[in-house]
Structures are given as C-alpha cells and as structure tokens.
Structure 1
C-alpha cells in the first residue's frame, strides 16, 4: 500500500452522493471509486445514472430519483444499510438556479430554490448523522456550494442566500458533531464548465474573459473539485472541519481585482476599454 492510500484510508469505506451521476458528481464518484470507496448515488437524470452504473460495472448502488424527494432519499440510505451496513461519507451536490431580479420572483420560486439548494442538504444530513454515529468510526460530510455563497450575486439573490445558509449550517453542524469525529466541510468552486452549466449559459459566453476575472487565467476543471472531495473524504483531512475549500483559481481571494490585458490588476476597467480605444481602433476590447 502506498503513502497516499495508507494515509487516506478510503479503501472499503462507503460514500453516498446526491446528484452524483453527471458533471461534478460523476467526477467525484469516479475519483472516490478509484480510491476503493463503495458508492451509492442518487441522480434525477436517468440516462446519466444508467451510464454511471454501467461504468462502475454494478459495483455501486445508483438510483434514479430526486434528492428533494424525502422518499427517494430515504430509499437510497436504506439500500446502503442493507448492502454495506455502514456509511462513512456523504456528499451533497444537488443544486440549481435561474436568473431573475428578486422583485420579479415569487414565493413559489423561492420555495423551489430553497428545496433545491438547502432543504435536501438538511434532510440528507439528518439521515447520515445517526448512521455515522452508530458506526463509531466518525465520518465526513461534504457540501458542494459555490463562490456565490461568499459574494453578492445580482440576479441570483435567493440562490446565493440558500448556498450561504448551507455554509453556515455546515459550520454549526461541524461543531455539534466534532466530539463524534464527524467532520463537516464545504467546497465552493467558481466557474467550472459542465454540460448542465453549458445549457444554463445558453449562448456559450459564460466562460468569456476568464483570463480577466479568474487570477489563474482558466476555467475550473471537474477534477479540481473532485480532488477536494477526495481530500475531505479521506484521513488526510482528519483534523479539518467547519471550513470551506475554494477551488476557484483565486477568484474569492481577488474579490473584485481583475487582470486587465495590457493594464494589469485593478478594480476598475482601464480608460482605453471604457472609451473603446483598445488596440487603437476598439477592435480588441475585452469581452466579459
């Protein structure tokens, strides 16, 4: 056994992932499986769930269902009990939003956003914690949130509020569960292209200007996020709880400082961009 495998202690453990069959979830599931973790996955996308089931060659429990549905969520936890009789890691990944000014939204929309981004996290944790306590081995709960939980998000006010609530819930729960050796942490990525994000962006321009807005000059990769999930699930993070990892290329750290081509770091666009004089004729302006 190599250094990483020995320190990580993941082989033979059991992880349950909500929304784990596509995009970020698939990357997390495959990276955990590569480290010997036995997986239980719930995903609303039937095609993605089937593809993951085939890829893992029947070595995982992969259910098609909605994590916002208490019965679907409970059924997967029950299946984990029956098959393995233990639970070591919970990854809460399900989320989603739509763009709208707050004054254009309604209580029905607020409820949908809270169910999608907050309430299922509470329910999944309420099912996971007693099982982890009963096992006596501790455990790890990982919530995938977003940078929008840490900064203003005009057009996404309720979504960002729900994600911020998950962050604060995790901090509080981490303190409650620390005596039981159960750790609770968050992962807050920035722009990380996935098929769902591409559909949401619509016009394909969501990643334009990443060299300006993201200090490391590139969009995130799904493995940037899945690597954090493996770390937080493993013994390598045995003394880490109540915190957030930011695989965002430095966006959270920059907090509004942008790297303007030809001008460098500033919180304000260069005069040439404002006057349309970039490149001498305005033809090389920066697109954000």
Structure 2
C-alpha cells in the first residue's frame, strides 16, 4: 500500500452520488471507485446510468447505479435504502445534481424559480437529511461534498435565481458543518468555474461563449478551461482522510477566477480590471454627446 492509499483511507468505504452518471458526477464516481470506494449513483439520464454501470462492472468495482431523479424524494430514499441493504454503511455523500437556464430575472416566473431552487437546493437538503443519521450511526463520521459554482461567489447576470440557490447551498453547508462537527462529519463545497460538460452548454442556451481559446486565456488566470479531473480530484480529497480536519469551507478549482475577481489578462496589455484602449471599436463621431 502506497502513501496515498494509506493516508486516504478510502478503500472499502461507501459513497453515494446524486447525478453521478455523466459529466462531473461520472468523473467523481469513477475516481472514487478507482480508489476502492463502493459507489451508489442516482442519475436522471438512463443511457449515462447504463454506461456507468457497465464501465464499473467491467473494472470489477462494486457499485449500485439507479436511473431516477434526485429531486424525487422517493427515488432518492430508494437509493439510500439500497445502500443500507447492500453495504450497511455510508461514508461519503456527493451532491452533484444542478441545473439552470439563462434569462433576465424580470423575464422569469415563479414556476421557473421553483424549478431552479428544487434542482439546486432542495434535493441537497433532502440528501443531507438522509445521510447524516446514517453517518452518525456508523460511528466513523463522514464527508458531505456539494458541487456548487463560482457563480455562488459573484454576480452572474442572467442567472439570478440559480446563483441565489447555489449561494444558499454554500451557507447551508457552513452551518451544517458546525452542527455535525462533534459527530466527526465534515461538510464542504467545491465551486468550479468553466469546465466544459454537455450540461454547461445547455445552461447557456446551447452556446459556448468560452469555446474560443483566446477568451479562456483572457478570463481564466491559468489560461485554460477546467477539466473534469480538476473537480473530481478535489472530491477524492474531501472524501478521504487527507481532509479529516477540513470542514465548512469551499475549494475553488477554477484556474484562479475567484481570486482574480474581475481582473483579466488582456493580450498585449496584461492584467487590467477594465477594457484596455484599442480593444473596443472607436466610438463614431458625436457619440456620447
């Protein structure tokens, strides 16, 4: 056994992942399984769930993969019950499910607000309410990890309710972390920025405004888009004993965008928090008068 395996203590533990069959969730599920974690996954995408099940079976990894909607209380409870029956323990919960659409707030309706809050906040509350008693019963503590977004930490025009819901998840995690800390249960968040996945393109209405490498170099200090493994690596760390004294906080695998907070690396001009002269087209005569 190597240094990481010995210190991480992941082998033989159990993780439940909501939205774990595609995109970020799939990466997290596969990386946890690669470290000996027995994973249970719930995902609304049936084809993705089937692919993940076959992939984990082919690797000889113990897994439970359900097709279902994490926003459905019965479907979520059924996965927890299946974990109880098969393994009788729960060490890690990773809440990945989320979603949004782009629109000015004044063009949205209560129906849309409810859908976004249900997709991004309410299922997290439900999953945590199911996970915490099981982790307490196990006497070994546990780790809860919520996938949020950098948009929980900055303005995001066109995504007002989504950012509010994700910010609520962040604050919920901080408070829950304090409440359950005496039981050895840790609660943390992972807040990525631009990491291309199919769902990200859907959220932007099918467009990918960051597909131009030049735009990525300007907007992200590290000069590249995020990769799924950037986020899954953080999840493995937070699930492991390597983070046994980390709780109530947020990891930012975002290439530095949270730190830069509006500063951009403009070609030929360098870092500035405004558009450099010469980048914008010249104003026509008489403009602004």
| TM-score, L = length of structure 2 | 0.94
Give 1:197 shift.
1.7
Distance 1:53 1:59 in 2: 10
Q: Report what 2:270 is aligned to.
A: 264
Give 1:274 shift.
1.7
Distance 1:126 1:26 in 2: 23
Q: Does the alignment pair 1:157 with 2:160?
A: yes
Distance 1:98 1:215 in 2: 26
Secondary structure of the residue aligned to 2:117 is helix
Q: Report what 2:178 is aligned to.
A: 175
- Whether the 8 Å contact between 2:11 and 2:36 is mirrored in structure 1 is yes
Q: Report what 2:198 is aligned to.
A: 195
Q: Report what 1:22 is aligned to.
A: 22
Give 1:59 shift.
2.4
Give 1:180 shift.
0.3
Distance 1:122 1:276, change over 3 A: same
Q: Report what 1:282 is aligned to.
A: none
Question: Which runs of at least 4 in structure 1 moved beyond 4 Å after TM superposition?
Answer: none
Q: Report what 2:77 is aligned to.
A: 74
Secondary structure of the residue aligned to 2:278 is helix
Alignment map for 1:1-288 (pairs within 5 Å)? 1-57=1-57, 59-201=62-204, 202-208=206-212, 209-275=215-281
- Whether the 8 Å contact between 2:100 and 2:203 is mirrored in structure 1 is no
Task: Provide structure 2 residue ranges, at least 5 long, that are not aligned to the other structure.
Answer: 284-289
Give 1:204 shift.
3.5
Work out the number of aligned pairs and report it.
Answer: 277
Task: Provide structure 1 residue ranges, at least 5 long, that are not aligned to the other structure.
Answer: 278-288
Give 1:198 shift.
2.9
- Whether the 8 Å contact between 1:191 and 1:207 is mirrored in structure 2 is no
- Whether the 8 Å contact between 2:42 and 2:79 is mirrored in structure 1 is yes
Q: Report what 2:287 is aligned to.
A: none
- Whether the 8 Å contact between 1:207 and 1:219 is mirrored in structure 2 is no
When structure 1 is superposed on structure 2, of 201-210 and 103-112 the one drifting more is 201-210
Distance 1:106 1:31 in 2: 39
Give 1:207 shift.
3.1
Q: Report what 2:286 is aligned to.
A: none
Give 1:203 shift.
3.1
RMSD of equivalent CA atoms = 1.2
Deviation digits for residues 44-77 of structure 1, max 9, x if unmatched?
0000000000001172100000000000000000
Secondary structure of the residue aligned to 1:274 is coil
Distance 1:138 1:105 in 2: 41
Distance 1:276 1:6, change over 3 A: farther
Distance 2:231 2:280 in 1: 35
